[in-house]
Structure 1
Amino acid sequence: MSFWHSMSWKTEGIRVTAPVQWRQYDGFVSVLWEAESQAGASGYYLSDDPRIMFFFNDVSSNVRISNENDNFARNSRPMARAVYVPAGVPLWTGSRKTHSFSHLNLHLHRDRVLRYLAPSIGSSAAQTALRRSVELQDVPALDALAKLLADEIKNPSRHAVYAESLVGSIVAGLLDIPPEREESTGGRLTQAQMNKLLAHIDGLGDYRMSVAEMAAIVGLSESWFASVFKQTTGKTPLQWQLTKRVELSKQLLGESDLTVASIAAQLGFSDQAHLTKVFRQIVGETPAAWRRMRQVRQA
């Protein structure tokens, strides 16, 4: 994937002390900076793409950062060694005293990162992680990965897949990706998770959600959620939703004068024939036959 980042920035009091080195990879641009910042120096940065800043030296006592320009002194915080900035999030910096620094900038193509993460954690969790800012100070593992990547940027000696795998590992190590709670669920959803899921889906009224949306509600990846959901309910998420929608259709058939076609449309079935087919599979008879039988029993 040919990719070059889009970024607006302005600095005052910061000068580059060595030639900038960079490499363009599949969906990533890696840039090495050596610079010196004067006391009172400032910077403003805004990127259309998600990015990572990694400092090879501790600058937390020298640099403050903020996502708000107003009242910088009150709203700022120390610059961490590893910072993930989501796309479209502005960043202001201010230097307290003169210092030199070395850092790695990783500019990321959003779709490339999603393609890397989604098979393991699911697209919903990957998209959520990309929207969350991250700032870490204690980063020994990331430091080792960043130094390997910096060496390759300075002196390319391997296939691009080597550097791309390092970038992928840095992304996976830094982004806020919750662990799969396999041990806590014991292969099944907890009652608390089921209650949370039911409360959300009941509020929709038609029991129509994607597996990704259901998984996100209980904080699991799509693949793991699908597995433990079936272990918990005996049905796949789709089968379970269809059963719930049929139960809701029975309620409407018994308590209203709505036609079968109207009920089908209200519950998101493609048409009356679709509802009839699913209803017969689950209940054993058509909606019209079920309604007539119920009316006879109540007579």
Structure 2
Amino acid sequence: MSYHHQFTGRTEGIHPTAPLRCRRLDGLIGAFWEAEGEAGGRGYYLSANPRISIFFSDVSSIRVAERKGAVRRTGRPMARAFYVPAGTPMWTSFTSPLSFSHLDIHLNPQKMVNLLAPSLGRAAALGILRRPAEVEKTCGLERLAQLMVDEVTMPEHHDLYAESLAASLVTGVLDLRERRTQRAEGRLTRAQMRRIITTFEAGGGRRLTVAEMAEAVGLSESWFSRVFRNTAGMTPLQWQSRQRIDLAKTLLGEGERSISEIADRLGFSDQAHLTRVFHQVEGETPAAWRRAHQIG
């Protein structure tokens, strides 16, 4: 199957420590990188095709975000293994110097649909491939990834062997087992909750609709509302009210904005609206809360 690699990468303060090694296979390209990043180093990456990355050391000192300008403000620690859908941008920033190596597998989308559809159905496969995924426990994946690196750097087996390794890595990073467990138990995964939090924070505290929250994790609105309540112990709108009031308290404590300005900053219709929601959550008005928490 033909594969056209369309990838954009721009970096500052990140330098390769060895030549890039690549291997082109049926519907994918495997690439092994060794590099180092300076404190304050940063990168921007965008691919027309989906890809997975598996890192061979701790990379939590790298912050990552999907929106320009958000990486320093709301960026989260980079996971050791993750999947990036086609057309999804990624910005990174190094908080401290780091030497690292990682395996990237750039994928033909149709090849991935053909891999997943026999077990999951075409619609489910397409939905999964549209959603980012992260994996926290990577021990098994790292062993497979090292075998794949061996095949990229010093091929010893038939292409089918390397392609089978790549398929195992893809399905491991997508974590299909966790998705089945999540649906059976009616709960959101940790990765899905992180995605919701990131989407909410990217909006600067303005309220999202339930449909927008559901879309962020690729679920139907009705199913999302059910599993969100099972996970968070409250409805999506109640959870957002709690988050927005926490942001309001931070702004009130800073003392630089009026209550009216804070209401506008967080997307409330007016000061009275903020006051009403604040009182429902905290049991007092924003003005009373500010007076009680003023320093000096």
What's the TM-score bracket when you normalise by the shorter of the two chains?
0.5 to 0.7
2:55, 2:100 within 8 Å by CA — same for their partners in 1?
Answer: yes
Q: Find the residue that maps to 1:127 and give its secondary structure.
A: helix
Residue of structure 2 in register with 1:65 after alignment? 64
Residue of structure 2 in register with 1:179 after alignment? 180
- The residue type paired with residue 149 of structure 1 is M
The verdict on how the C-alpha distance between 1:218 and 1:10 changes in structure 2, with shifts beyond 3 A counting, is: same
Q: Distance in 1 between matches of 2:158 and 2:221?
A: 40
Q: Find the residue that maps to 2:180 and give its secondary structure.
A: coil
Residue of structure 2 in register with 1:4 after alignment? 4
Deviations 1:50-105 (A, max 9, x none): 01111011111x21000111243222000110010001111000001111000011
Deviation, 1:150, is 0.6
Deviations 1:194-248 (A, max 9, x none): xxxxxxxxxxxxxxxxxxxxxx9999xxxxxxxxxxxxxxxxxxxxxxxxxxxxx
Q: Find the residue that maps to 2:41 and give its secondary structure.
A: strand
1:68, 1:75 within 8 Å by CA — same for their partners in 2?
Answer: no
- The residue type paired with residue 26 of structure 1 is D
The verdict on how the C-alpha distance between 1:44 and 1:217 changes in structure 2, with shifts beyond 3 A counting, is: closer
1:6, 1:48 within 8 Å by CA — same for their partners in 2?
Answer: yes
- The residue type paired with residue 36 of structure 2 is E
Residue of structure 2 in register with 1:146 after alignment? 145
Residue of structure 2 in register with 1:34 after alignment? 34
The verdict on how the C-alpha distance between 1:174 and 1:182 changes in structure 2, with shifts beyond 3 A counting, is: closer
Deviation, 1:154, is 1.4
The verdict on how the C-alpha distance between 1:17 and 1:181 changes in structure 2, with shifts beyond 3 A counting, is: closer
Q: Distance in 2 between matches of 1:163 and 1:30?
A: 9
Q: Find the residue that maps to 1:179 and give its secondary structure.
A: helix
Q: Find the residue that maps to 2:79 and give its secondary structure.
A: coil
Alignment partner of 1:166 is 2:199: no
Q: Distance in 1 between matches of 2:63 and 2:104?
A: 18
- The residue type paired with residue 80 of structure 1 is A
Residue of structure 1 in register with 2:110 after alignment? 111
Residue of structure 2 in register with 1:45 after alignment? 45
- The residue type paired with residue 55 of structure 2 is F
Q: Distance in 1 between matches of 2:13 and 2:182?
A: 47
- The residue type paired with residue 114 of structure 1 is V
2:134, 2:174 within 8 Å by CA — same for their partners in 1?
Answer: no
Deviation, 1:181, is 9.8
Runs (4+) of structure 1 exceeding 3 A deviation are 180-184, 216-219
The verdict on how the C-alpha distance between 1:171 and 1:217 changes in structure 2, with shifts beyond 3 A counting, is: farther
Q: Find the residue that maps to 1:40 and give its secondary structure.
A: strand
Q: Distance in 2 between matches of 1:11 and 1:57?
A: 20
Q: Distance in 2 between matches of 1:58 and 1:218?
A: 38
Alignment partner of 1:156 is 2:155: yes
Gaps of 5+ in 2: 186-219, 224-296
The verdict on how the C-alpha distance between 1:12 and 1:217 changes in structure 2, with shifts beyond 3 A counting, is: closer
- The residue type paired with residue 131 of structure 1 is R
Q: TM-score, normalised by structure 2?
A: 0.60
- The residue type paired with residue 164 of structure 2 is S
Residue of structure 1 in register with 2:55 after alignment? 55
Gaps of 5+ in 1: 185-215, 220-299
Q: TM-score, normalised by structure 1?
A: 0.59
The verdict on how the C-alpha distance between 1:181 and 1:156 changes in structure 2, with shifts beyond 3 A counting, is: same
Residue of structure 2 in register with 1:123 after alignment? 122
- The residue type paired with residue 68 of structure 2 is N
1:132, 1:176 within 8 Å by CA — same for their partners in 2?
Answer: no
Q: Find the residue that maps to 1:19 and give its secondary structure.
A: coil
The verdict on how the C-alpha distance between 1:39 and 1:180 changes in structure 2, with shifts beyond 3 A counting, is: closer
Q: Find the residue that maps to 2:105 and give its secondary structure.
A: strand
Residue of structure 2 in register with 1:273 after alignment? none
Deviation, 1:135, is 1.4
- The residue type paired with residue 141 of structure 2 is L
- The residue type paired with residue 122 of structure 1 is G
Deviation, 1:3, is 1.1
Residue of structure 1 in register with 2:88 after alignment? 89
The verdict on how the C-alpha distance between 1:159 and 1:218 changes in structure 2, with shifts beyond 3 A counting, is: farther
Q: Distance in 2 between matches of 1:113 and 1:168?
A: 8
- Percent identity, please: 45
